[in-house]
A = this chain, B = another copy of it.
Amino acid sequence: MTSANMRLTTQRQIILEELAKVSSHPTANEVYDMVRKRLPRIGLGTIYRNLELMAESGMIQKLEIGGNQKRFDATTIPHHHVRCAACGCVRDVHIQPLRQLDTMAAEASGYQISGHNIEFSGYCRDCLEKRRSPAHNIDH
C-alpha cells in the first residue's frame, strides 16, 4: 500500500489531524481516545491499521522506543528522543545529524547501516521538581 492508492477516508483524515495537534508522541490507544471524541464509532483496529499504513507510506513516523507500546509522531523530520525514567513521557531532541556514527557502526559490526536513532534517558523537569520536594523525598 502506497499513499498513491490509499483512499482519503474520514477516519484517516481525522487520525492525521489529531496526531498533528500534539507533540506528545501518543500511543495507538491515546490516538484512539483523541479520535473517538470526533468519531465515536471508530474501532481500535482501524486506528492500528491506519497508523501502520501511514507509517509505511512515510506520512508519519512509528517510534520504536522503550516502554511497552509503540508511539506515533506526525513529524517526519529525523530527530531523536528523550524518555523520562520516572514518568515515561517522551520529548523530541533535535540535534544535528551525525553521519559519522553510521560509518563507525558499519566498521564495528559488518552490517550495511542505513541509519540510527538515539534514545536519551533522564528526568523531565516535572519529575525533577517532585524529587526535590520534601514531601516526595523518600529515597528507599
Query: Is the C-beta of A102 less than 8 angstroms from some C-beta in chain B?
Result: yes
Query: Is the C-beta of A22 less than 8 angstroms from some C-beta in chain B?
Result: no
Residues of A in contact, count (CB < 8 Å)? 38
Say how far A119's CB is from chain B's closest CB, in angstroms.
Answer: 6
CB contacts under 8 Å to B, within A43-93, are: 64-67, 80, 82, 84-85, 91-93
Query: Is the C-beta of A14 less than 8 angstroms from some C-beta in chain B?
Result: no
Closest to A95 in B: B104
Residues of B within 8 A of A110 (CB): 124-125
Q: Is the CB of B124 within 8 A of A111?
A: yes
| Residue in contact with A120 in the complex, picked from B64, B67, B102, CB distance below 8 Å | B102
Q: Is the CB of B122 within 8 A of A119?
A: no
Q: Is the CB of A112 within 8 A of B95?
A: no
CB contacts under 8 Å to B, within A8-53, are: none
Say how far A61's CB is from chain B's closest CB, in angstroms.
Answer: 12
